[in-house]
Amino acid sequence: MKKQDRQLRVGILGCGPIAQFAHFESCVKARNAALYAICDAAPDLAARMGATYEPEKTYLDYDEMLADPAVEAVIIATADTFHVPMSIRALEAGKHVLCEKPVGLNVEEVETLAAVVERSGKVLQIGHMKRFDPGIEAAKQFIDEEMGARLGLKAWYCDSTHRYTMTDAVQPLPILSKAAVKPAGNPKADLRRYYMLAHGSHLVDLARHLCGEIEWVRARLLERFGAYCWFVETGFADGTLGHLDLTVAVRMDWHEGFQLYGENGSVIAKTYNPWYYKSSDVEIFREKTATYERPFLPPPARRFCRCHSRWRADARRRCRRRAGLGQGDGGHRTLGRDRRAHRRRRDHGCSLMRAGIFAKTFAGSDPLTVLSRVAAAGFACVQYNFACSGLPPMPDAVPDDVLQAIDKTRKATGV
């Protein structure tokens, strides 16, 4: 992509996984932005990311980055706890902000942030990149321009027990540091709260994006076999009824999408895990022609790139500068990355393991049963699910005796 002459100079706070998977690359590629500065309190991480992405400045101290007058806008890519305080400091230093989701931890701190945004006159955007999925954009356009009155929305966001098996096959390993700044306490200690913030924020944002403000909710939660299922009835300000389903984790592939019924038609959408870089599949039914339309959407849809571009466009507009962004900005450059990831996997000899994963699932309630079945079927590697050791599939901690039992069986079976 040809860079525009005028580029917004961006500073990224945090060099952790989300910066590595989404923000550095999007900033480097976007035609109207420059990765001017990066900042992380972990010196090793800052140095490695500095060497890789070559920003003009690398900071270890956030205040120093904010004091740099060349930084026009800041991306907050730190843990949830820090979102509001770090955003406020950036806004008060006169920078535009793109902050990772969730915007904050509670209503009170988010209202404080809203007041600071208002006072500062700067743009704050939250990293809800699903809004910039071309499939969702096509649905939104139909909803706004043709659907007429809305009747009912059903939307679901169901994380999968097999999520990491699948994403490990497409994502490079993040570079981590022991010196990384982490929030005090374990954010996953309260999983109800953690899932609602980490996953629920995407679901609620999409519902509001499609149907407007939510006026009331009535929610039920069932916890069973380590899974959480929230069914949330909602009433939107325009009278539309909603049913939001947040389930973590379903025993199936990643399951996300929505159905919306309206006066002049309906929309059905299936959304993929973001790391597949794939637009949502969207089907629009028009009542007047009694036909379905499936908009053609260019495959590598980098929602993060598009999210950045829109934010920058808003920031630039707010600065009374020319925005000039096309809809497709940043949306077509994953092939190189995919090929690199593929090469890395091939060089590490992972293709055999992937074949095993996709070929078969081996049931069992203890390591010996599962690994014996794997060995008997002739596989050398398997992705082990902790549910087979009586733990949740994505446990926060794995007791030593469980690990030792798996390791012992691994050696005994040769898997």
Ligand X SMILES: NC(=O)c1ccc[n+]([C@@H]2O[C@H](COP(=O)([O-])OP(=O)(O)OC[C@H]3O[C@@H](n4cnc5c(N)ncnc54)[C@H](O)[C@@H]3O)[C@@H](O)[C@H]2O)c1
Note whether 110 binds ligand X by CB under 6 A.
Answer: no
Q: Which of 7, 10, 16, 147 binds ligand X (CB under 6 A)?
A: 16
User: Which of the residues 52 through 71 are near ligand X (CB under 6 A)?
Assistant: 62
Nearest approach, Cβ of 244 to ligand X (angstroms)?
A: 17
Residue 120 CA to residue 112 CA, distance in Å, equals: 12
Q: In this chain, which stretch among 180-188, 283-291, 348-356, 402-410 interacts with ligand X, using CB under 6 A?
A: 180-188
37 close to 58: Cβ distance less than 8 angstroms: yes
The closest residue (CB) to ligand X is 16
What is the residue whose two structure tokens read 């902000």? Answer: 97
Note whether 17 binds ligand X by CB under 6 A.
Answer: yes
Note whether 40 binds ligand X by CB under 6 A.
Answer: yes
Looking at the Cβ atoms of 60 and 391, the one nearer to ligand X is 60
Note whether 79 binds ligand X by CB under 6 A.
Answer: yes
Of 82, 79, 77, 80, nearest to 18 (Cα)?
Answer: 77
Note whether 266 binds ligand X by CB under 6 A.
Answer: no
Note whether 78 binds ligand X by CB under 6 A.
Answer: yes
Q: Which of 181, 227, 323, 405 binds ligand X (CB under 6 A)?
A: 181
Looking at the Cβ atoms of 40 and 265, the one nearer to ligand X is 40
Q: Which of 198, 241, 323, 368 binds ligand X (CB under 6 A)?
A: 198
Nearest approach, Cβ of 285 to ligand X (angstroms)?
A: 29
**Binding track, positions 323-352, relative to ligand X; x by CB under 6 A:** ------------------------------
User: Which of the residues 117 through 146 are near ligand X (CB under 6 A)?
Assistant: 127, 129
How many residues touch ligand X (CB under 6 A)? 27
Nearest approach, Cβ of 102 to ligand X (angstroms)?
A: 7
- 238 burial (CB, 10 Å; 0-12 / 13-18 / 19+) is exposed
Note whether 373 binds ligand X by CB under 6 A.
Answer: no
Nearest approach, Cβ of 273 to ligand X (angstroms)?
A: 10
Q: In this chain, which stretch among 9-17, 228-236, 283-291, 308-316 interacts with ligand X, using CB under 6 A?
A: 9-17
User: Which of the residues 273 through 312 are near ligand X (CB under 6 A)?
Assistant: 274
Encode the chain in three state secondary structure: CCCCCCCEEEEEECCCHHHHHHHHHHHHHCCCEEEEEEECCCHHHHHHHHHHHCCCEEECCHHHHHHCCCCCEEEECCCHHHHHHHHHHHHHCCCEEEECCCCCCCHHHHHHHHHHHHHHCCCEEECCHHHHCHHHHHHHHHHHHCCCCEEEEEEEEEEECCHHHHHHCCCCCCCCCCCCCCCCCCCCCCHHHHHHHHHHHHHHHHHHHHHCCEEEEEEEEEEECCEEEEEEEEEECCCCEEEEEEEEEECCCCEEEEEEEECCEEEEEEECCHHHCECCEEEEEECCCCEEECCCCCCECCHHHHHHHHHHHHHHHHCCCCCCCCCCCCCCCCHHHHHHHHHHHHHCCCHHHHHHHHHCCCCCCCHHHHHHHHHHCCCCCCCCCHHHHCCCCCCCCCCHHHHHHHHHHHHHHCC
Looking at the Cβ atoms of 63 and 111, the one nearer to ligand X is 63
Nearest approach, Cβ of 182 to ligand X (angstroms)?
A: 6
Nearest approach, Cβ of 100 to ligand X (angstroms)?
A: 4
**Binding track, positions 225-264, relative to ligand X; x by CB under 6 A:** ----------------------------------------
Nearest approach, Cβ of 20 to ligand X (angstroms)?
A: 8
- Residues of this chain that interact with ligand X (CB under 6 A) are 13-19, 39-42, 45, 62, 77-80, 82, 100-101, 127, 129, 180-182, 198, 274
